[in-house]
Amino acid sequence: MHRQIEKSAGSVRSKLHATLLACVIGLYLHLLNLSISLGRASVVISVEYAVMMSVMILGYLKFKRIVNPISSVMIFWLALIYYRLGISNRQNELTLQSQVYIYAFIFFYVLGTFFVLRRRLRPFVVHNEKSLYILNVLFAAAVIVACCEFYVFGGFPIVKSMFGGQDIYGEVVGIPIFHYLVMLSAILPAAYYYLYRIGAISKVSFYIFVIASLFIVLNTMSRQLLIFSIILSFFSYSSVNRIDPDRLLFKWAVFAIAAFILLGMSRISAINPNIQALDYLKAYSDVPKEFDVNIFDVTFNLYASLNFNTFQEMTSLTNEVGYGKYFLKPIVGIINFGNVLGISYVEQYDSFRRLGTIVADPVLDFGLLGVIIFSFSYGLVSANIFRLLNSLRSIGVIIIWSTIVYTLLMSVFANFFNVFFSWICVFVGALISISTITLKLGAFFRTKNSIAH
């Protein structure tokens, strides 16, 4: 009884924190707009922010949690609002066509999340010895490949960056294909923690696996990979400890943002230790010196909002229809089927390298129709995996859901649904759980209940 009361009180506090945070962000955007653009876009920004918060409330009413498939994509919308502030001189006004694509993505994604299978599974735990075996194989493979890369590179990249005063970000060695095994080490800390908490491994083994895995992740010098590992750890920790994720959201979000900014600052200090990080970022992103903005404003605008400008440049350059070749790019690129199938890719349309947001690939494949089909599909898959997560206490399902959340949070950068690493993570998550949940999933999808709102 006492635990239920404490859980209820924690849930109320998390909702109050979320409401307060939403109000603070809204006020902050208003003041920032007054400071930078003298309030010229205040009405548009205020209305759009109000609509965004209304959609988030709708998502909470639908999924009964603040962390849900709809809220996960709201950072994309927030970046669009930031774009309207015009912090950087690089930003051009979005054309009507670009705005139609962007709002179509938001609308049809949200629409897709409302098509969820009604059938509910009884909660059950998914774990067997194969889970540990698969993770141990991945760990061993990651260590071997990482050691080879460290040897070729001539040391540990993170050490050279922090203490050697070298800008080595673009010099980090990655062995083609096999480097994906190194990247998969990002799932290991959360996975081993889950197994440790359910008694599958000892405390000593847990610390050895986690420390080694984190060291490998840090040496990739990839902030995106670090964020993915944090997201996965967040859901693993909340699931295995039976804690409502909403209660942990604020602390973990602050930690992830701080980690992203600090790793970026370490790279800047390696480039030029005599310059302030804010001054460097302002100059790099073409933000006027007189603008009274902080390092978060400039960082978020540089890495998120400016990508809408790139998206507009990419989609306005061509009327060519790709007919799905950008969706299939991960497979075509890995197995080198491009020459055989007569498929070629132009570098200026590479949405991952250029950071053209999640919308670029669907537009390049099928135009507006592609945006509608793909965004609806993303919403549909996200919502149903979320429902599955609430029934299957499995590190495999947690890996799949975390990959989806990571993809949605990174939607303002590129389409990580079309990245081979995301596909591998989903495959590993399914592989870990498949032997135990096959019968349950069969019953789940054979239900006679139709898909309904």
Give the pLDDT confidence score for residue 383 in this predicted structure: 93
pTM: 0.84
At 325 the pLDDT is 81
**441 pLDDT above the threshold of 50:** no
Whole-number pLDDT of residue 112: 94
Residue 266 lies in domain: 126-274
Q: Does residue 363 lie in a domain region? A: no
Same domain? For 201 and 132 the reply is yes
DSSP-derived secondary structure letter, 93: P
Rounded to an integer, the average pLDDT of 217-241 is 88
Phi, psi of 414 (to 5 degrees): -155, 175
CA distances from 72 to 106, 202, 241, 255, 387 (A): 12, 34, 22, 17, 15
**Cross-strand partners of 392:** 124
Report the pLDDT value the prediction gives residue 243, as an integer from 0 to 100.
Answer: 83
Count of CB atoms within 10 A of residue 394's CB?
24
- Identify whether residues 180 and 80 lie together within a single domain: no
Q: What's the pLDDT score for residue 283?
A: 77
The answer to whether position 236 is within a domain reads yes
- The residue out of 234, 259, 274 marking a domain boundary is 274
- Residues of the chain above pLDDT 90, percent: 27
Among 161-165, 173-177, 184-188, which is the least confidently predicted range? 161-165
Pair 302, 281: CB distance under 8 Å: yes
Going by pLDDT thresholds of 50, 70 and 90, the confidence category of residue 15 is low
Q: Does residue 235 share a domain with residue 150?
A: yes
Q: Is residue 242 part of a domain?
A: yes
d(CA 303, CA 310): 11
Question: What would the mean pLDDT of 318-344 be, rounded to a whole number?
Answer: 70
- CB 138, CB 188: distance < 8 Å: yes
Please say whether the beta carbons of 347 and 396 come within 8 A: no
Q: Which residues are CB-contacts of 406 (< 8 A; sequence separation ≥ 6)?
A: 227, 228, 231, 232, 416, 422
Token representation of residue 376: 């609806």
Closest CA to 420 of 178, 143, 148: 178
Task: Give CA–CA dist 309/83, Å, rounded.
Answer: 9
Asked if 49 and 137 sit in the same domain, the reply is: no
Domain C-terminal end among 274, 297, 325: 274
Tokens of 344: 């070629």
pLDDT digits (tens, 9 = 90+) for 261-315: 676 666 666 556 666 777 777 777 788 877 777 777 787 888 888 899 999 988 8
Question: Which residue has better confidence, 191 or 223?
Answer: 191
Q: What is the mean pLDDT of residues 85-99?
A: 86
Question: DSSP H helical segments within 317-419, as ranges?
Answer: 329-335, 338-341, 351-354, 360-366, 368-389, 395-409
Per cent of the chain over pLDDT 70 is 74
Average pLDDT over residues 349-360: 86
pLDDT surpassing 60 at residue 120:
no
* Model pLDDT, residue 362: 92
For 151-166, the pLDDT digits (tens) are 888 778 877 766 655 5
46: amino acid identity, one letter? S
Beta bridge partners of 206: none
- Please state which of the ranges 116-120, 225-229, 382-386 shows the lowest mean pLDDT: 116-120
| CA proximity to 406, closest of 390, 423, 430 | 423
Look at residue 329 and tell me if it is in a domain. Answer: no
Whether the per-residue pLDDT at 337 is higher than 90: the answer is: no
Per the structure, the count of domains in the chain is: 2
CA distance 449 to 119: 7
Average pLDDT, the chain: 79
Work out the average pLDDT over 63-76.
89
Q: Is residue 205 part of a domain?
A: yes
Out of 222, 249, 274, a domain closes at 274
Name the nearest CA neighbour of 354 among 321, 312, 325, 322: 312
Plot region of 345 (φ>0 → left; ψ -120 to 50 → alpha; else → beta): beta
Q: Are residues 158 and 262 in the same domain?
A: yes
pLDDT at 244: 81
- The neighbour count for residue 421, using CB atoms within 10 Å, is 18
**Res. 6 pLDDT band, cuts 50 70 90:** very low
The whole-number pLDDT of residue 452 equals 45
What pLDDT was estimated at residue 119?
58
